[in-house]
Every structure is written in structure tokens, then in C-alpha cells.
């Protein structure tokens, strides 16, 4: 039985939702505010969360922002409940791959269909996918079919063979791909430590490597070479960023695969991807700002930012809220105003 957490500060709405979902055979728990909702989400780890956006104290976005920092809750599907949002604008945002929004009052059928769709997509990507070529192939297939991601990488065409001792990449080289070791063994080392095997990192079958430089936007600081005959799948840089940024559900599942389900590594990667989202949004705002006259009273339309940034709308909202709190921008229904372009350039450069 799927477990659903309702976070809603209005008692009547909360009780009506709970009654409806229990009649539909869901296991339902509820919270009257964001603080209690966070506590229940972390302790009970539901399969899906229905969360009001506008609540006193901790609002819906703060709940989401906090839970995305924890590997055990980062992938839980969210359906946001809002009394203010316009349905047309929300559906445009959904095209960016965000979790669902429902505007109150909503039809029962609309709610149930949204829940079923989110649960189905989530269950398809449970972290029991094998860390193998078949598991990666299945993940990429569902990313295209269920996530609507337009990936360029063709799985079989992207496999390369490396002989023992053959270089995969060198330090100082700019990264173009994420590497997945389908078979064999790979060694990574700093050039000055090439002769000391104890200071090398070794990757076995089912491992991803070379992702740090991609995420941080730097050149490689290590060399990598095959230790034995190896088959390596290459995921293009553009596809890597699509998988990490465009859809929150697929991003978290992908991070779990990359981290090999090691909690500390997942937590580190989640932080790196959030920083990447902030950097991408800052870069996009600056690009759009420079197209205009560059005056502080210029407003950048939200639609332009959404289409240009190619970041899931929930991550986009979290980044905008962060820059708003830092007094870097001001944003509202009309769009975004740049308040401090210098600070925004610092954020864009990471």
C-alpha cells in the first residue's frame, strides 16, 4: 500500500483529502504545518507528498528544499497545492519536468490521476535498477519515455573499448562525457603520482567516473586509464546536464546510480547539483539581462528564463528564492529584476 503524506494547514482541506485517499486505499499520514511535515517525511519516508505552498512558518518550497538535501527523501514525488497559481502558467512550468501542481479547489479525479501518474513514474525508477549496462540502458529508456528528455546519446553506439594502459582522459583536458564502466577496470591518478599505485583510485564494473569536472565546469585534475580490457559507455555532456537538471525525479535517481547508493556520496552530489542549478540560473539571468539595456528596472519575463535555463521549474524556483534572499534579484509575477549584477556574476562563475 502506497503511503501519502499530506502537509496542509487548513484543517477542513486536510481532513477531506485524508478521507478521500483512505477510501482509495492509500495509507495516509498528515501534518498541519511545514515543520511537522518535515519531521514526518524524514521519519516515515512516504511514497508521495501532497504539500500546500503557502503556509505560515515553513512553506512548501522550504519543505522541498530541505528534503532534497537528504538522499533518503530527495526523490519523493511532490504534488504542490496552491490557491493562488494560474493553471495555464503552472502547466507551462510542468513542461520543464517539474513535479505536479494542483490549484485549489480541484476535482477529485484530477487529484487521483496526478497521484497515480507520479507514483507510476517513481516506481519505474526505484533504486533497485542494477548498476550494469542493462540498468543504465533501462534508465535512459525511461528518461526518454517517461521523463520526456530528448537525449542524444544512443546507448550501444556510445560504448568504446579500451586496451590495458590506454588513456581515457588526461589532466588538463576539458570534459565532454560522463563515463560508465560496463566491464573491466579503470585507474585514476594525479600525474605526479603515476608511479604510486596506493594513491590511485580504482573503478570496477558498474561505476561512473569523471563527473566531478563536468559538474564543476573545470578541466580534469586527474588522468584515467584502463587497467585491463574495458568497455566504457559514454554519455554526452549535454545529456549529462539534461539528466541532472531538467527533471527532479530523474535527477535524483541518476545521482543515486552515480553515487552507487553510498549515502555520503549521494549527499555530496545533491549539494553539487544544487550548486550547478544555482550557477546555471545565474548565468541565464545574466545572458537575458545583457540582451536588454542592462538597467535595474528592466524585467526579465519568467517564461524567457524557464525556456532558456533548461532547469526543472522546482529547482529554478529554489534558485530564484535563494537569490531573492541574498538581495541579488527581485522576482514576482511580472518577472525578474536584477538588483546586484556583480553578485550575480560571482554566482554565475561558481
Domain boundary among 258, 278, 308: 258
Cα gap 111→132, rounded to integer Å: 36
pLDDT at 85: 56
Q: What is the pLDDT of residue 285?
A: 92
What is the pLDDT of the chain when averaged over all its residues?
Answer: 85
pLDDT at 291: 61
The answer on 113 and 18 residing in a single domain is yes
Query: Model confidence over 85-138: pLDDT tens digits?
Result: 555 445 433 433 346 778 777 888 889 998 998 888 777 666 566 778 888 888
Let me know whether 171 and 236 are in one domain: yes
Please write the tens of the pLDDT for every residue from 280-297: 999 999 998 876 555 555
Q: Are residues 185 and 271 in the same domain?
A: no
Handedness of CA 315, 321, 326, 328 (dihedral sign): positive
For residues 182 and 234, is the Cβ–Cβ distance under 8 A? no
Q: Is residue 49 packed enough to be buried (19+ CB in 10 Å), middle (13-18) or exposed (0-12)?
A: buried
Last residue of a domain, one of 258, 289, 322: 258
| Structural domain boundaries, residue 146 | 133-258
Please determine, for residue 1, whether its predicted confidence score (pLDDT) is greater than 70.
yes
CA distances (Å), origin 122, targets 13, 72, 187: 26, 14, 34
What's 194's domain CATH number? 2.60.120.10
**Domain check: are 82 and 186 in the same one?**
no
Residue 210 is predicted with a pLDDT of 94
Same domain, 205 and 270: no
Least confident of 4-8, 134-138, 292-296, 333-337: 292-296
Number of domains comprising the chain: 3
Which of 205, 234, 258 is at the close of a domain? 258
277 and 250 assigned to the same domain? no
Domain CATH code at residue 289? 1.10.10.10
Q: Is the pLDDT of residue 317 over 90?
A: no
Handedness of CA 252, 256, 259, 263 (dihedral sign): positive
Contact of 273 with 245, CB cutoff 8 Å: yes
Give me 24's grid cell: 482509495
Sign of the CA dihedral running 321, 5, 272, 135:
negative
The answer on 241 and 142 residing in a single domain is yes
Cα separation, 350 vs 347, in Å, equals 5
Q: Could you tell me if 245 and 272 lie in one domain?
A: no
DSSP state of 127: T
d(CA 309, CA 266): 24
CATH number at residue 31: 3.40.50.2300
Chain centroid, CA 224 distance in Å: 27
Q: How far apart are CA 98 and CA 54, in angstroms?
A: 18
Of 207, 170, 211, 175, give the one whose Cα is nearest residue 190. 170
**Residue-wise DSSP of 37-84:** HHHHHHHH--SEEEEESS-SSS-HHHHHHHHTTSTTTTT--EEEEESS
Checking if the pLDDT of 303 tops 90, the result is: no
The proportion of the chain whose per-residue pLDDT surpasses 70, expressed as a percent, equals 89
Q: How far is CA 211 from CA 29, 40, 234, 247, 259, in A?
A: 38, 33, 11, 18, 10
Model confidence at 41: pLDDT above 70:
yes
Max CA distance (Å), the chain: 69
Amino acid at each position: 500500500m502506497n503511503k501519502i503524506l499530506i502537509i496542509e494547514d487548513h484543517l477542513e482541506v486536510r481532513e477531506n483529502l485524508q478521507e478521500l485517499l483512505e477510501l482509495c486505499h492509500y495509507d495516509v499520514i498528515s501534518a498541519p504545518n511545514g515543520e511537522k511535515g518535515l519531521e514526518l517525511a524524514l521519519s516515515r519516508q512516504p511514497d508521495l507528498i501532497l504539500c500546500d505552498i503557502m503556509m505560515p512558518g515553513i512553506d512548501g518550497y522550504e519543505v522541498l528544499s530541505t528534503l532534497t538535501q537528504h538522499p533518503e527523501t530527495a526523490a519523493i514525488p511532490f504534488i504542490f497545492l496552491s490557491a493562488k497559481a494560474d493553471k495555464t502558467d503552472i502547466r507551462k512550468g510542468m513542461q520543464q519536468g517539474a513535479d505536479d501542481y494542483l490549484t485549489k479547489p480541484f476535482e477529485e479525479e484530477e487529484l487521483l490521476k496526478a497521484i497515480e501518474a507520479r507514483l507510476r513514474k517513481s516506481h519505474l525508477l526505484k533504486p533497485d535498477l542494477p548498476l550494469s549496462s542493462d540498468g543504465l540502458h533501462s534508465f535512459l529508456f525511461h528518461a526518454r519515455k517517461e521523463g520526456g528528455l530528448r537525449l542524444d546519446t544512443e546507448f550501444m553506439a556510445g560504448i568504446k573499448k579500451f586496451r590495458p594502459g590506454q588513456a581515457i582522459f588526461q589532466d588538463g583536458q576539458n570534459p565532454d562525457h560522463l563515463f560508465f564502466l560496463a566491464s573491466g577496470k579503470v585507474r585514476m591518478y594525479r600525474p605526479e603520482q603515476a608511479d604510486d599505485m596506493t594513491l590511485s583510485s580504482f573503478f570496477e564494473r558498474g561505476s561512473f567516473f569523471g563527473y566531478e569536472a563536468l559538474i564543476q565546469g573545470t578541466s580534469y585534475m586527474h588522468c584515467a586509464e584502463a587497467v585491463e580490457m574495458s568497455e566504457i559507455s559514454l554519455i554526452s555532456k549535454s545529456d549529462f546536464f539534461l539528466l541532472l537538471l531538467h527533471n527532479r525525479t530523474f535527477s535524483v535517481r541518476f545521482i543515486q546510480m552515480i553515487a552507487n547508493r553510498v549515502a555520503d556520496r549521494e549527499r555530496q552530489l545533491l549539494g553539487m547539483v544544487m550548486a550547478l542549478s544555482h550557477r546555471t540560473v545565474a548565468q541565464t539571468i545574466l545572458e537575458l539581462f545583457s540582451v536588454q539595456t542592462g538597467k535595474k528596472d528592466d524585467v526579465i519575463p519568467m517564461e524567457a528564463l524557464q525556456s532558456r535555463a533548461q532547469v526543472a521549474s522546482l529547482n529554478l524556483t529554489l534558485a530564484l528564492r535563494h537569490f531573492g534572499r541574498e538581495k541579488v534579484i527581485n522576482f514576482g509575477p511580472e518577472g525578474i529584476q536584477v538588483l546586484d549584477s556583480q553578485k550575480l556574476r560571482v554566482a554565475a562563475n561558481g
